Structure 1
Amino acid sequence: MSNSNPNDTKLEQQRSDAAEASLKNQTESNYTKESDAAADRIANNAEEAKKDKKDK
């Protein structure tokens, strides 16, 4: 089924571009959250290691 109206194709391309940008933004946001969470876990592990060292 082809589009006889070229404006429909342009609109579909805009929707596609918007969807791609949205997915990219979501992916980057997820990466940042995971990176922040990993940094927090590393900091917590370092703090626990210091406490364990003092207790010995």
Structure 2
Amino acid sequence: MLKLFIPIAYAVVLIIFATSQFFVPGNPIFIYLLSFYSIRFFPLDVRPAVSVSLLPA
């Protein structure tokens, strides 16, 4: 039930003008956090290797 509540609450936050002013600019951060969280569900052979040369970029 909580997994369904989070996207619904986020959609409501984006619809309301007063709160969307704060959450729309934060979308890149939220997308990064979501992808960082969800990468653990991918198998190890699909994940890209960590490259130290790409870290400064």
- Fold match by TM threshold 0.5: no
Structure 1 or 2: larger helix share? 1
Structure 2 length-normalised TM: 0.29
Higher relative contact order (CA 8 A, sep 6+): 2
Structure 1 length-normalised TM: 0.30
